[in-house]
Amino acid sequence: MNLSEILTLSGLWRHTRDTIRAPQEAAQAVLALNLPRNVLWLGLALVITLSTLLASAVLLMVPMPEAGAGVPMPVVMGIVQAVFLVLVSLGIAVIGARFGGKGDFDGTLALMVWLQAVFLVVQAFQIAAIAIGLSVLADIVSLASIPLFFWLMAQFVTVLHGFSSVWKTFWAIIMFLIAFAFLLSLVVTSFGFVPMMP
């Protein structure tokens, strides 16, 4: 894997397919790139921007009920996604190191950016399915992408930190994300951002 290949559509598709087939080998290839942090931040901005654009395309094809004036929903989703990726990358690096892992923040961020790039292909597939009238297929892909996301993340983190068990890593990630979501909800509530009831 090299950066120039990833930036082409054919290369992105090929490496996405290879990542799903052999996630640990893909993780090793991403880490072997040893990308500098400024490139990682640019990569993060790129995948978030593309994800936001694809989400906007879905809203154009399948209009949602009006939510009133304010910041467009895809923009909000993009901001939340960016904050989520950075905080999760930091958490995986710090907590993994506490349990004897050898990974660092840069390696974690590289893998999370690549994970998002893989799911750009999934988003594009969903849009294509909706465009040709196969909304049911798009829904199936959407549901299947959830366990796939966590499974690929577990595989990536196992390689990153040199852990021995993918399943232990998988359940550790699930517990971490549950705790993270709980803490985040407490922070949001403490700032007064409580959902308004109808």
The rounded distance, in Å, linking the Cα atoms of 113 and 111 is 5
Q: Is residue 160 part of a domain?
A: yes
Contact between 93 and 105 (Cβ < 8 Å): yes
Q: Is residue 198 part of a domain?
A: no
Largest Cα span, the chain: 51
Q: Is residue 66 part of a domain?
A: no
Q: Is residue 28 part of a domain?
A: yes
pTM, 2 dp:
0.81
Q: Is residue 14 part of a domain?
A: yes
For 137, the token pair is 């297929």
The rounded distance, in Å, linking the Cα atoms of 124 and 179 is 31
Task: Give the list of residues 6+ apart from residue 81 with CB closer than 8 angstroms, or none.
Answer: 48, 51, 52, 116
State yes or no: pLDDT of 116 exceeds 60.
yes
User: Once rounded to an integer, what is the mean pLDDT over residues 171-195?
Assistant: 70
Q: Is residue 159 part of a domain?
A: yes
For 145, the token pair is 């992408």
pLDDT at 69: 45
pLDDT at 5: 65
Q: Give 126-139 pLDDT, tens digit per residue.
A: 888 888 878 788 78
The rounded distance, in Å, linking the Cα atoms of 189 and 187 is 5
Q: Which domain holds residue 146?
A: 3-61+73-190
Number of domains in the chain: 1
Q: Is residue 197 part of a domain?
A: no
